[in-house]
Amino acid sequence: MRFTAVVFGNGRGKYGMGSNFLYCFREMWSWNKAFFFCCVLGFVPALASNFLGVYMPSRVVADLEAGEALMTLLLHLLLLSFGAWVCGGVDGMVQEYKQTMIWSFKGHFQGKYIHKIMDIDYDRLESQERQTVLGNVADTVGKGKNLNGLVFLSYVMEDLGLVVVYGVLLCFANPLLTAAVLATVFVDLRLLAFARKKHGEYYEKLSMQSRKMNYINTQSQNAPAGKDIRVYKLLDWFLRKYDESLQAMNRTHGKIMVWYTNRLYVAALLAFLRNMFVYAWLMWQLVRGQIGAGDFVFYVGLVNGLADSFEMTMRQIMSLSSTSLAISYIRELLDWEDDWKRGEGIGEAALGELLNKPVELRLKDLSFTYPGSDKPVLSGINLTVRPGEKLALLGLNGAGKTTLVKLICGFYHPTKGRILINGIPQESFSREEYERVISVLFQDCTFLPLTLDENLTAGEPGEADRALLDRSLDYAGFRERYDRLPAKGATKLIKEVNEGAVDFSGGEKQKLLFARAMYKQAPLLILDEPTAALDPIAENQLYMNYGAATKGATSIYISHRLSSTRFCDRIVLLENGCFVEEGTHEELLRGNTRYAELFHMQSKYYQEEQERTEAGRRQAEAFGETAHQHPLEEGLEGGNVE
């Protein structure tokens, strides 16, 4: 039973080997029928070619033994050679076609993976229990190595067909010959399976050493790491660690090779004993006149062909187990179901009313606990954001801000409670409808290798609303930089993909993200740390434009920085997954509040910065130089840039 599992594999879960390959054949049929027939019937010319190669020498010897005329002998040889040549040629063309098409077939699966991974509910991407599936599918469709086994299917059919043909013909001579060949090959493969099992036991050690070596190799090519390596003289340390890992890997490989070497010695002994038995029996039959010289050559060819074909059949099946497992992961991913509705939700008429004016956002008894954890990240959240209101959601790192944003965006689903837009529960929307209601500026920058305008509008070339795009650029403070670009909106991004592409600084990228969020014109706007990469002057300018830009939307500003909250209508402070304070900037500063404490702690930094600036100016004036006024010198009040 254990050997059967090693050879045939069990797939994964409900996806067995047979089911997996039937699934692949259905995919082949729907994708390319010519490829399907090549994989299913492509073994026929190979089988014929192999059999003719075994039969031809025996036919020649039999003709010579029978004293056939030279022309008859040459005719037989010509016909058999021509048949072998035709079958071999057809087989070669089939194999070349399959090897060429398998890359496209891998691309077929990769396309299905990309479509699924970009369209599936977001929480599936972050689920720890699904990371194994995602990682294995990404590796399979990215490298495609395991999918090569799909071509091996035709090889299995070819070798299995030869096993049947050779085995049946040998049985006519003596069933013991067939049994001897199959038994010795089976024992050899059992030893191979045992050696592979030992290999698997050492796999974790090899994997760890390999990861260490890959890490060092990656760091050696990493420009930021290269600075530290040179400044702190880390070269010798890296080389020493690399050599230690390499030597450990070599020792482990040495232990593995002992098992494979022992298996080879035993396999050679088994082949020797098998051949002694086969040749002795055939020679005895030849001496007794039971078979002729041609039959002797034919049976020897059958024995060798049966041994090779049976071994290759079992090896191919063993290799197919990894292919079956890879297909299991792919099928499991493609079978994942979403929680969001697709298609019909609240309807286009109701959605149109929402999109025409600011909306009300209500969080009712909202709680969330990550799967596998017993501690809630958010607990008992109740909040109503009025239509057109500008709300500042503040909190230190780890307070739960990011989780709350993902819940509002629909990336996560609440463990308890509800999210309502104008009184409509979030779950009543289809995902497509809900995504039209919300526009988000995330802290992380995500740009595609398209033109600048295409990145800002998420549309096809020529479809942009030029006036709306210009206003969005003005609000974001990127207009001047945009106009200085030689190709302006046609500028390509992502240098790794586009030749002559332009890269922007972190602050410029955040301005572009702000412009993209403005361009969408959704009635609910969320800005998650929108000024994290901006200097104080740019931050101040962005907030000045923020009010004008969001007149037609309900907006939520999320940050752990408290220096620029006065532009908001209301402030809520989140700590340990709960709202602890709420009010305007002035109201929260009046009392002995947590907000006031945090605000004064952060504003102290700006005051110290101002003192350093003034000290530098006095020193410059002492040397007769013209001091430059610090941009924060004016308008700084209690650490606030207004």
- 209/71 same-domain check: yes
**CA–CA distance, 582 with 569 (Å, rounded to integer):** 11
| Unique residue bearing structure tokens 């006095």 | 618
- Whether residue 583 is found in the same domain as residue 617: no
- Kindly state whether residues 95 and 206 are assigned to the same domain: yes
Neighbours of 501 (CB within 10 A): 15
- Flag whether 348 is in a domain: no
Q: Which residue has the higher pLDDT, 225 or 461?
A: 225
Average pLDDT over residues 226-250: 85
Is there a domain that residue 487 lies in? yes
Is the pLDDT assigned to residue 361 strictly greater than 90?
yes
6: containing domain: 2-334
- Kindly state whether residues 214 and 266 are assigned to the same domain: yes
The amino acid at residue 53 is G
* CA dihedral of residues 193, 194, 197, 199 (deg, nearest 10): -100
Q: How many helices (DSSP H) and strands (DSSP E) are in the chain?
A: 23, 12
Looking at the predicted structure, is the pLDDT value of residue 424 above 90?
A: yes
Evaluate whether residue 342 is within a structural domain: no
* pLDDT level of residue 618 (50, 70, 90 thresholds): low
Q: Are the C-beta atoms of residues 185 and 272 closer than 8 Å to each other?
A: no
Which of 271-280, 293-302, 557-566 comes out lowest in average pLDDT? 557-566
Q: Stretch 478-502: mean pLDDT, rounded?
A: 86
Average pLDDT rounded to a whole number, residues 174-194: 84
Q: How many CB atoms lie within 10 A of CB 409?
A: 18
φ/ψ region of 271 (left if φ > 0, alpha if ψ in -120 to 50, else beta) reads alpha
Q: Is residue 168 part of a domain?
A: yes
Domain harbouring 98, CATH code: 1.20.1560.10
Pair 136, 227 in one domain: yes
Greater confidence (642 vs 505) lies with 505
Task: Note the pLDDT of residue 428.
Answer: 92
pLDDT of 283 higher than 80: yes
Question: Does the pLDDT value for residue 56 go beyond 80?
Answer: yes
Q: What phi and psi values does residue 553 have, to the nearest 5 degrees?
A: -145, 155
- State whether 367 and 303 are in the same domain: no
Residue 217 in this model has a pLDDT that exceeds 50: yes
DSSP-based three-state secondary structure for 277: helix
Model pLDDT, residue 383: 93
* pLDDT of 416 strictly over 90: yes
Residue 347 is assigned to a structural domain of this protein? no
Position with higher pLDDT, 9 vs 596: 596
Say how many Å lie between the first and final Cα of the chain, rounded.
76
Using the predicted structure, report yes or no on whether residue 632 has a pLDDT greater than 60. no
DSSP track, 495-511: TTTSTT-B---HHHHHH
Q: Is the pTM of this model over 0.85?
A: no
Q: Are residues 594 and 621 in the same domain?
A: no
pLDDT class of 561 with cuts at 50, 70, 90:
low
CA-CA distance, 331 to 317, in Å (whole number)? 20
Same domain, yes or no: 612 and 596: no
The region of weakest confidence among 1-15, 96-110, 111-125, 192-206 is: 1-15
If asked whether residues 433 and 549 sit together in one domain, one would say yes
Residues 35 and 121 in one domain: yes
Structurally, the chain folds into a number of domains equal to 3
The CATH number given to whatever domain includes residue 490 is 3.40.50.300
Q: In what order do the strands lie in the sheet with 524-528?
A: 438-441, 524-528, 554-559, 390-394, 570-575, 578-583
- Provide the pLDDT for residue 12: 61
Mean pLDDT of 261-284: 87
558 in the same domain as 471: yes
Classify residue 351: in a domain, yes or no.
Answer: no
Instruction: Report how far residue 341's alpha carbon sits from residue 410's, in angstroms, rounded to the nearest whole number.
Output: 12
Report whether pLDDT(599) > 70. yes
Q: Are 333 and 113 in contact (CB under 8 A)?
A: yes
- Min mean pLDDT across 130-134, 307-311, 428-432, 471-475 is at 130-134
Same domain, 474 and 325: no
Mean pLDDT value of segment 575-580? 88
In angstroms, how far is CA 307 from the centroid of its own chain? 41
Comparing C-alpha atoms, which of 378, 380, 383, 425 is closest to residue 571? 383
Indicate the average pLDDT of the chain: 81
Listed residues 319, 334, 349: the one ending a domain: 334
pLDDT value at residue 426:
93
Question: At what angle are helices 293-334 and 128-143 packed, to 10 degrees?
Answer: 130
Is residue 607 within 8 A of residue 630, CB to CB? The reply is no
**Residue at which a domain ends, from 334, 367, 391:** 334
Whether the CA torsion 178, 179, 181, 186 is positive or negative: it is positive
Q: Is residue 514 part of a domain?
A: yes
Which of 497, 495, 512, 410 is closest to 454 using CA atoms? 512
Q: What is the pLDDT of residues 330-357, one digit of tens each?
A: 888 888 888 888 878 889 989 888 888 8
